[in-house]
Structure 1
């Protein structure tokens, strides 16, 4: 049986309360609801007004802002400011488990919009789905552009400080550790709205600290298209924009969840490629025309969790399952082959200093800059290790010799008089080490050096004792520099004097010290690693403060700080068996993966900034940090750790992430020839997947090849294969046995 209620209203800045003289059908003053648990959507009739909307959650009730289910912002011709039109539903019909609600909005200039909202409740998943269609029935010619909004808030008006906030890659818990021009950095703004293409998934969440209830709003958008001129902060009006924006309205000092379509962005924006601490908008609107397609589908999710990290995990997984991203077919043998060929090709020697160029132009492959950084983005030692190891294992003397020369250079030249590893060598005409040495660079280089030594021991015992001695000098220097609380300062000059006392890079040294303990059985290294881990647990894990490992964008929340905690805590779990380290790695893994695109952002129509076709997908590419929308393949490094988390926890979600990171991260590599780069193994260092789509540095740096090769070697070491799909076909019990063996030796072979 259908229940139909009807009322015609004019909608403006205030509602028109006059009844039509001749209603087209009788009015039934009956309330309507759908959902028999959580959520429940209730419509209550108010005579001469329309329907009020209440959504029952687990602890609270949620209502549209200002009582208006429909909000349309209209920009009149020749007028700089906009006018808002708000109205409740005027019609409601319950049909086949769905609730269909309608309203007409007539502007002051005579334009008419028809809004049709269809709701479906899924009590089993705690979800309410809304599908909205806005039809322009009449365009007066005096109205230029429009946006529609869905805005909902807790009926109990609680202050901003009473909530925790989440927007993937943008806001985690609160506005702390964001730079001042970041979206979300200023909660005194009325609006925090961000384009959804800046998010790993289009999702925004509020969690009530007092009740533990969280409510999230996600957009189910399978085609968020735009066009190449979509750039800058000018107000753009175009029917070919089909992306939204998500965020919060804080204007009345208690928060509301907001979706805006098309996706206007403010009061901070990166729409011109940068950021500004000043309030500013990048408005995007549809024209007021009869042929405009203005439709979208939203989901409201309701959950109750003991803490913010668990709420984030549950809402992310719910939205991830909604999008169900596809794992691509990529041949790992090709990836390894082409990546090693790139290293072989670009190996060079300048003034007797062997290495790889710091950067190479794309697409042509011409060398751009030559300088040698042992880790981070330069990754001289790791890339040399891959060549050396492959040479030993395949009897390729060219690879082995080239890798060995680079490793010898660092082992013989990097140590300062006090044993500190100096990280960056500038070749001719300078030929000196830069006077700045950070822990992130040390980590990348030293881990690879001890692994290279262990493989040399396996093939040529005793031949590379100087490599081990270099690592021991570095580790012993670290023991001397470690503070009583377990931390290290971030960076030192060449004399070993601290030049940055920030401590949040402490996580970066834990895996190296673990390797050193396994290689030497020196208990001091194990003790130092656990002491550092306890610092990270207190200062990073517990306050949810994954900050600082993107050293060229320091002291802000970033993806790589999560990556380093995963690596560090898994090593500590291997050392001690203490479950707190596994739990810490799991929390960091959920945080980190929210920077990953788990949905496809189509290339902007007419864009020629980067070759791309519909065979490729942005799924697996990850945003680097808060404060901007630059993205890269950097989470490729951790396909191994996510595979381990699957094996250690049995959670198949981690297996899926591992597969995506193993395969899909190669979409920015020329492995199939589609990108037209000079070599198949070349891969862009960073790009944007939002205005301008595909714009980026147009450079290869050694780290991108390291991110492809490193997990493949580790996966093969641990499980005897480097294809995760084949590995996952084995019984979990068998994989646990292999993993336990790996945990004992961590790839250190001698």
Structure 2
């Protein structure tokens, strides 16, 4: 049972939480009341009064004056099984004279975990920061993040050797925020009326420090303002006193065999504490797919050279043929005018996948139209080696490399270097879509031999470039030469091979389609599955899934691993693959919101009554501050793994994702300010990202790129079919 005690220091008191008998089995809260002022420095103090209400509950208070104001903190500390809770009332009122109107105040809470300098730690902020193991002595900077950047506002501190973890989480979730009060000077410390705080950790000489701020401090580095990552700090204005704010946090202690177990256990526990409240949609999930098909059909166009494609890159506020609204990746603003003249077949535009979706659902004229789209790809995009281009420049009537080609259109997934080539992922996706189209048309009595030959040649290319350990590098030249260990392709062998899960499901499907001749593809899939299972899963480390920020920890790497290993389990029946899928899934689910972060009044998302539950953060640069609907591609596998293993939270998360990702979709009752039915932004700004450099502000929408049609039709459709809907 957790025990709370108060220690006296001079004339004051501070709490200590005990959960065992050892010297490290404690959380210590020196100076439990720390206040920072915008213009007057800081003050740290102990409680002046404490009283024991019961064996498991204490009351404590502190009172002081500053800047013409009188402040009080009234705290209640309570203990429960596995957790302690702090409920804090903060009151500010006038003292002598008037409160300084330009003054602002910020509270900080620090919890110290005693630790030897050499003890190893690992930390997680859901959807933002998944650290490597690090000894206390090497923790160099504070990692503190705005609560709305996190899919649940909590930090998890894990001790791998002891297999135990500690958490600090917000219990009273923020629901309101106004915009920061900044001037033309672009201050990074400013006044702001907001309930949003921040949570994180830092290292001390003999302790790990869990930290909570209200309003938020984000540092030692923040992406909120600029590429320099200057920290930001908000202070609640003292105007209009008296004022009162209630805050509540809890501190949890648990055991987990792995980092994934610890992060998932804490995340799931907080979702149970504050049950997710997904959006209430004015239409069914099945209807949402049809709305998207309406728009997708209208993006179809036939070309003068006999080809055809879907021109699904546009700004939904301006309609078909417009330029997608600008955005940035890794603090690079990407020119977007080229999007109106290219056909994209992988990653952010899945031409062949849209053929599969429309031909299978609509039939009729979409069989022939789809054939034109696919044949255009087959006739122009393969190389004799089996290598595939995935981008086509209509203006110059030729394919072009995804990177390294001088004078080629520049897309958002740029990389450095001058060697032309393509990414593994942007070849696998069109090859897999081509296989599905081949299978669909064959089932309709219209087998296309050249389609099979093209996807088979690419599968053979994959076998030729597969490494002896079962992995693949992240990118290749047309002759199969790998591009690796360089900016954009991975810093070392570990990161350069981090996309090795991506071909697995495709090779399984190829092996099953090819019959006896497909054994080599199944064996290649097994070797890749074993490599992923033995290399990335034991470290709970998934990176390099996205191509616009290609060498960071991200959501898509985790979800691809979860899905690929589940595919291996279905193929082989071997439990080790299922266990690996579950372990990757435990990280994948934490990338998706289980609470509703507040929107700024007057923004696009506020007008749409946007709920963050079910939407996913993208990568560890932006964290959950930018969300999209990409999780839809693999919620079928997440749901199936949940059913297979009894992990019901996986299934509930799949449902929350299915619902939450249909928001801001134009429908018959509300076109959302867009020009047609079935349009949706590509992404949503949950908190500021690089706003001083014209990137994404809290409440923004942007896009659209065509991948969202595949996610919202194909990805969602797989899930609904698996659920018998």
Correspondence 1:361 to 2:327: no
Matches within 5 A, 1:371-520: 371-392=342-363, 397-434=364-401, 435-460=420-445, 463-500=447-484, 502-520=496-514
**Using a 3 Å threshold, how does the CA distance of structure 1 residues 674 and 358 change in structure 2: closer, same or farther?**
closer
**Using a 3 Å threshold, how does the CA distance of structure 1 residues 716 and 101 change in structure 2: closer, same or farther?**
closer
In structure 2, the residue matched to 1:241 is 194
TM-score by length of 1: 0.83
SS for the counterpart of 1:53 is: strand
In structure 2, the residue matched to 1:41 is 4
Whether the 8 Å contact between 1:358 and 1:371 is mirrored in structure 2 is no
Whether the 8 Å contact between 1:633 and 1:668 is mirrored in structure 2 is no
SS for the counterpart of 1:256 is: strand
**Using a 3 Å threshold, how does the CA distance of structure 1 residues 365 and 221 change in structure 2: closer, same or farther?**
farther
Aligned with residue 285 of structure 1, among 221, 235, 242: 235
In structure 2, the residue matched to 1:620 is 614
TM-score by length of 2: 0.85
Correspondence 1:342 to 2:295: yes
SS for the counterpart of 1:227 is: coil
**Using a 3 Å threshold, how does the CA distance of structure 1 residues 453 and 230 change in structure 2: closer, same or farther?**
farther
Distance across 2 between alignment mates of 1:96 and 1:536: 50
Larger of the two Rg values belongs to structure: 1
In structure 1, the residue matched to 2:590 is 594
Aligned with residue 562 of structure 2, among 563, 566, 577: 566
Correspondence 1:699 to 2:650: no
In structure 2, the residue matched to 1:715 is 719
Correspondence 1:62 to 2:16: no
Whether the 8 Å contact between 1:618 and 1:667 is mirrored in structure 2 is no
In structure 1, the residue matched to 2:89 is 133
Deviation at 1:604, TM superposition (A): 0.4
**How many aligned positions are there?**
653
Distance across 1 between alignment mates of 2:74 and 2:179: 31
**Using a 3 Å threshold, how does the CA distance of structure 1 residues 319 and 528 change in structure 2: closer, same or farther?**
same
Deviation at 1:160, TM superposition (A): 7.3
SS for the counterpart of 1:548 is: coil
Deviation at 1:535, TM superposition (A): 1.2
In structure 2, the residue matched to 1:103 is 62
Aligned with residue 522 of structure 2, among 526, 530, 536: 526
In structure 1, the residue matched to 2:131 is 173
Distance across 1 between alignment mates of 2:716 and 2:233: 44
Deviation at 1:325, TM superposition (A): 0.9
Q: Deviations over 1:570-609 (max 9, x none)?
A: 11111111111111111111111212111112220233x4
Deviation at 1:382, TM superposition (A): 0.8
Distance across 2 between alignment mates of 1:51 and 1:674: 58
**Using a 3 Å threshold, how does the CA distance of structure 1 residues 489 and 211 change in structure 2: closer, same or farther?**
closer
SS for the counterpart of 2:157 is: strand
Structure 2 unaligned spans of 5+: 324-339, 402-419, 486-495, 689-696
**Using a 3 Å threshold, how does the CA distance of structure 1 residues 72 and 307 change in structure 2: closer, same or farther?**
same
Deviation at 1:229, TM superposition (A): 4.2
Deviation at 1:433, TM superposition (A): 3.0
Correspondence 1:297 to 2:248: yes
Deviation at 1:404, TM superposition (A): 2.0
Give the aligned CA root-mean-square deviation in angstroms. Answer: 2.4
**Using a 3 Å threshold, how does the CA distance of structure 1 residues 131 and 391 change in structure 2: closer, same or farther?**
same
Whether the 8 Å contact between 2:14 and 2:46 is mirrored in structure 1 is no
**Using a 3 Å threshold, how does the CA distance of structure 1 residues 647 and 117 change in structure 2: closer, same or farther?**
same
Deviation at 1:161, TM superposition (A): 5.3
Whether the 8 Å contact between 2:61 and 2:75 is mirrored in structure 1 is yes
Deviation at 1:139, TM superposition (A): 4.8
**Using a 3 Å threshold, how does the CA distance of structure 1 residues 73 and 252 change in structure 2: closer, same or farther?**
farther
Correspondence 1:580 to 2:580: no
Distance across 2 between alignment mates of 1:641 and 1:508: 14
In structure 1, the residue matched to 2:416 is none
Distance across 1 between alignment mates of 2:204 and 2:232: 18
Distance across 1 between alignment mates of 2:151 and 2:300: 36
In structure 2, the residue matched to 1:12 is none
Distance across 1 between alignment mates of 2:666 and 2:139: 42
SS for the counterpart of 1:359 is: coil
In structure 2, the residue matched to 1:16 is none
Correspondence 1:206 to 2:173: no
SS for the counterpart of 1:114 is: strand
Correspondence 1:195 to 2:180: no
Structure 1 unaligned spans of 5+: 1-36, 177-183, 723-750
Matches within 5 A, 1:653-668: 653-668=649-664
Whether the 8 Å contact between 1:638 and 1:661 is mirrored in structure 2 is no
Distance across 2 between alignment mates of 1:352 and 1:120: 73
Correspondence 1:91 to 2:76: no
**Using a 3 Å threshold, how does the CA distance of structure 1 residues 718 and 464 change in structure 2: closer, same or farther?**
farther
Whether the 8 Å contact between 1:681 and 1:705 is mirrored in structure 2 is no
Matches within 5 A, 1:595-744: 595-607=591-603, 609-610=604-605, 612-614=607-609, 616-628=610-622, 629-671=625-667, 672-673=669-670, 675-691=672-688, 692-696=697-701, 698-715=702-719, 717-719=721-723, 721-722=724-725
Q: Deviations over 1:431-483 (max 9, x none)?
A: 233242111112221222212222222221x5222222211111011111111
Whether the 8 Å contact between 1:219 and 1:299 is mirrored in structure 2 is yes
